Amino acid sequence: MKKLSLWAVIGAAGLALSACSTGGGDSSSGNASIRLANATLTHPSLDLYVNASSTAAIKAVATDFVSAYVSPASGSTTVQVNDAGTSTALVTAVPTLTSNNHYILFAYESGGAVKLASLGEDYPTPITGTAQIRIYDLATDGGKVDVYITDPATDLSTVTAPTLTMTPVALSNALTYSPGAYRVRVTGYGNKNDLRVDVPLVTLASQQIATVVLTPASGGVLLDGANVIQQGVYTATRNTNARVRLAAAVSAAGKVAASATSAAGTITIDSGSVSPAFGYYVLVPATDTLNVSVNGSSVAPPVTALKAGSDQTLLVYGNAGSATASLILDDNRLPTDPTSVKLRLINGITGTSGALTLTANTAKVASDVQPGTASTYVSVLGSTSAMDLRLTSSAVPGNFLTTSAVLNFKSVYSVLAGDDPTGAAKAQLLIR
C-alpha cells in the first residue's frame, strides 16, 4: 500500500488523509491547484473556503460532482467545507500543498460526520499503450475487503482470486492495464457473495490514471464508489442495492417467509422461519418489491420502500392471522469506542404488552419502545462475560423477558422481542 500522510483536522470530524504524489515544486512558494468532489450522503451542495477567507473559493458543488480547480498559495493551507451558502464548518483541515501540484479533495460521510480526504494528482504518466488503476478505500466501517478488477462481462463466480485485498484507510499501489473497459467489484473479505459495490465501467485511455474511491453508504457496510481520472473527469457510482433481513415475530409460532421481486426475477430473503426468528442479510435491488407471507397467506408489504445503500430489518409482527410488515433502518456503523458495543431494541411483541424498556448489565439501552418500532442505537460498555439483558413492560409487572449473551467488543447488535406475552414460554429475546 502507498504510504499516507496525515493532515491535521480541526473539530470532531476525524483525521483527513493526503495521498503521496510525485510532483515536484517548492511547497513554500507559488500556487497549488485543488478541486472538491462532493461524495457526501446528506449534503446536496458544498462550498470550500481557503485560509479563513470570507468568500468561498469553490461554490455549490452538487452531490456526485467535482468542481473546477482553484489555485491557493502553496504551503500550509487551511481549507474548510460548509453547506453551500452557510457559515458553519462541516469539516476543516490544514494540508501542506506543494507548488504546481494538483489535488482532489473528497468530502464524504462516515460515522455521522463529514470528513475530508485528499488525493494527489501528479503521479507519473504511464508509458504509451498502458494505463493504471488505483483503489482508495475510505470506508472504515466496511472493514477488510476484496477487490476484483475484471473485464465488464466477467462472471464473478468464475474468478478464482481477488485482484487485491484492502483494509481501510488505504491507497493501493498502481496496477497497470492495457487501455480499455474494466469493471471493479468489491466484496467482503473472503466472500464473493458479499457484494459491497459494483462499479460497472472504468474506461481507460492510453496513459490515463484512474482511482476508484470507496466511501461508506448509509448502512455502514455497503459502499459507494467514484472513479476519478487524474486531473480529469469524476464519475460517481451510488449503490443501488439494499441489505435486508427478516425479523419474524408473529404470535402462535407463525411461519414467516419473505422475498423480493422485479422483472429480473425473485430473490429469497427467507424461505420460511417459525417465529420468533431473526434472519441474515440478503442483498436485493432497492427498486424491488417485497413479498411477505405468514403460514402461506400473503401479508401487505411495508408502506415504506427500500432505501439504496442501506441495511434494513423487515419486521413481521402481530397476530399470525393479521400480521403487519414494516421496514426498520439499521445502522451498522461500528462504535467509535473499542471497549463498547452498540445496541438497540426492536419491539415485535404481540398483544397488550405496552411500551418496553431494555437494560444491559443495568445500563439503560432503550425505553418507551412501542410495538412495531425500534429504539435508537446506544453504546454501552462491553464485557468479556455474558451480558445480562432485561426487558420490562409498562403493562406487565416485574421482568418481562431476560436473557444473557456474550457481545463482542466494537460490534453492533439488535435485540428482537417477539411473539405473544400470553404464552410466556414462547416470547423470546433474540440477538443479532
For residues 258 and 201, membership in a common domain is answered with no
376 DSSP 8-state letter: P
Q: Is residue 126 part of a domain?
A: no
Residue 133, Cβ density class (10 Å: 0-12 exposed, 13-18 middle, ≥19 buried): buried
Evaluate if residue 396 carries a pLDDT over 80.
no
For residues 305 and 410, membership in a common domain is answered with no
Evaluate if residue 422 carries a pLDDT over 80.
no
Q: Is residue 398 part of a domain?
A: yes
Among 49-53, 95-99, 260-264, 422-426, whose mean pLDDT is lowest?
A: 422-426
- Of the residues 120, 142, 175, the one at which a domain ends: 120
Interval 168-174 mean pLDDT: 95
R_g of the chain computed on alpha carbons = 24
278-298 pLDDT, tens per residue? Answer: 999 999 999 999 999 999 999
Which pLDDT score, from 0 to 100, does residue 423 have? 52
Evaluate if residue 410 carries a pLDDT over 80.
yes
* Strand order across the 58-62 sheet: 8-10, 89-94, 79-83, 45-50, 58-62
For residues 70 and 13, membership in a common domain is answered with yes
Task: Please count the structural domains in the chain.
Answer: 4
Interval 155-175 mean pLDDT: 96
Which pLDDT score, from 0 to 100, does residue 51 have? 94
Among 8-22, 60-74, 230-244, 410-424, whose mean pLDDT is lowest?
A: 8-22
- Of the residues 296, 312, 330, the one at which a domain ends: 330
Nearest to 137 by CA among 111, 179, 158, 106: 106
Nearest to 140 by CA among 113, 110, 96: 110
For residues 261 and 353, membership in a common domain is answered with no
For residues 8 and 108, membership in a common domain is answered with yes
Which pLDDT score, from 0 to 100, does residue 88 have? 95
For residues 340 and 326, membership in a common domain is answered with no
27-69 pLDDT, tens per residue? Answer: 556 899 999 999 999 999 999 999 989 999 999 999 999 999 9
**154: pLDDT confidence band, cut at 50, 70 and 90?**
very high
For residues 234 and 250, membership in a common domain is answered with no
For residues 255 and 316, membership in a common domain is answered with yes
Which pLDDT score, from 0 to 100, does residue 28 have? 52
98-153 pLDDT, tens per residue? Answer: 999 999 999 999 988 999 999 999 999 999 999 999 999 999 989 999 999 999 99
Neighbours of 188 (CB within 10 A): 16
428: CATH: 2.60.40
- Of the residues 89, 120, 151, the one at which a domain ends: 120
More confident of the two residues 398 and 277: 277
Evaluate if residue 313 carries a pLDDT over 80.
yes
**353: pLDDT confidence band, cut at 50, 70 and 90?**
low
Interval 332-345 mean pLDDT: 92
Q: Is residue 216 part of a domain?
A: yes
* Strand order across the 33-38 sheet: 4-6, 17-19, 113-120, 102-110, 33-38
Backbone CA torsion sign across 353, 355, 360, 361: negative
Interval 365-382 mean pLDDT: 92
Distance separating alpha carbons of residues 121 and 209, to the nearest angstrom: 9
Interval 170-189 mean pLDDT: 98
Query: The C-alpha cell of 187 is what?
Result: 466484496
Three-state secondary structure call for residue 62: strand
Chain centroid to CA 201: how far? 21
Q: Is residue 125 part of a domain?
A: no
pTM over 0.95: no
Quote the domain boundaries for residue 60. 4-120
The residues, any chain, with a CB within 8 Å of residue 342's CB and separated by 6 or more, are 331, 334, 335, 377, 378, 379, 411, 412, 413
Q: What is the mean pLDDT of the chain?
A: 90
For residues 13 and 115, membership in a common domain is answered with yes
Query: The C-alpha cell of 432 is what?
Result: 443479532
More confident of the two residues 249 and 350: 249
